[in-house]
Amino acid sequence: MKLVIINGRVIDPSQNLDGNCTVFVENGVIRDVAKAKRSTNGYEIIDAKGAIVSPGFIDVHTHLREPGFEYREDIASGSKAAVAGGFTTIFCMANTNPVNDNASVTQMIVKKAEEVGLLNIFPVGAVSKGLKGVELAEIGEMVKSGCVAISDDGKPVMSGRLMRHALEYAKTFKIPVVVHEEDLSLAEGGCMNEGRISTELGLKGSPAAAEETMIQRDILLSKLVGHHVHFQHVTTATGIDMIRQAKKQGIPVTCEVTPHHLVLNDEACRGYNTNAKVNPPLRTTKDCQALIKALNDGTVDCLATDHAPHAHDEKNVGMDEANAGLLGMETALPVLLKLVHNKQVSLKRLIYLLTVGPAKIFKLKTGSLKKGWPADMTIFDPNLSNTIDAEKFYSKSRNTPFHGWKLKGKVLHTICGGKVVYA
């Protein structure tokens, strides 16, 4: 199959490329990215006039809920949501039922993802059996079956001894340990950020220290073992500065932040808005500003959505009882472009954090439009007005705090392996 994208502004940070170019695709790979006019005879044409053509977005933190929680999401609906959001590669977490802590579950996820066939889906296996934090999962077998990292995401690895062993095992398989940082004893009972707003609402909060103490522990363990720790959804000014200082010391750590932790703070919980209940919780304006600064100074390595679907009756309860989490993949681009339109981050840097950044962390051959690489691309209009409507989501769930927001930016085409998977 031959495909050509014409008239678009191609931004590919991996090649420091920004200009009007024509992208030629043949047999699923990039054949050329050309500035000069060339014949397009024999090619199927996509006219990207007025749009941005970038490498396909990568989301290293999603929950597809299959197996076990298909009423919230499954691999098919999650795939459709992903490509509608411009993603061509996603990682799905292990907190399924049964937990992805052994080869058979990993193989089932890989097989189902191949059957759906819309984008690249890589499973992340559990650190511990059953996410119980007691005994290591079958790491070697999961890696052989397709897992690209291990994580007990949704739960922290509270045992420092087990975390050390996980790092030692992961080191032999050359995969990172991906961590959700939360000291459960400090966070116990908290359903939002601990601070002035939680006090006003009469809700128990989770302090920033619950996240920060675990970040510091795992920086020390990363240094001790000499292996890669990737910090998920960092939310606090102190936590991100700890990671900044660790990087300066050459400790092998990387981190991600989410769109919602950049643009929302704990004020969003007013009205007991359960769609703003996430874990880790939305923090303060000062924390948001620190995260945005870290986007620009290189401390943050990538953006990730923590896409977490929940059914209506799991959110339509009190704040204490509601499940934590929100949908992310279908709103990520317009929410993040808000930062660009506000001149808080450049468009090129934003694309880097959605493409090159995650590809580097996990050593993926994607996130670039280099000749001969897989033809994974996202074509989007950064200025097209877009009102978020949860009822139009491809996801099975509707839990978003962004419903009704008027933003700019919309995905027009998503191309994976040279095939148009969303238009």
Which positions are catalytic?
A: 306
Separation of first and last alpha carbons in the chain: 17
Distance CA 45, CA 41 (A): 9
**CA–CA–CA angle 207, 213, 218 (5° rounding):** 140
| DSSP letters for 39-60 | --TTSEEEE-TTSEEEEPEEEE
Element at 206 (helix H, strand E): strand 205-206
Give the contacts of 74 (CB within 8 A, at least 6 positions apart): 64, 65, 66, 396
> What sign for the dihedral angle of Cα 118, 41, 46, 15?
positive
Distance CA 88, CA 329 (A): 11
DSSP state, 98? Answer: S
170: amino acid identity, one letter: A
For residue 31, the tally of other CB atoms under 10 A from its CB is 18
With a CB cutoff of 8 Å and minimum separation 6, the contacts of 377 are 5, 23, 53, 54, 55, 56, 88, 369, 413, 414, 415
Residue in 418, 263, 389 with CA at minimum distance from that of residue 337: 263
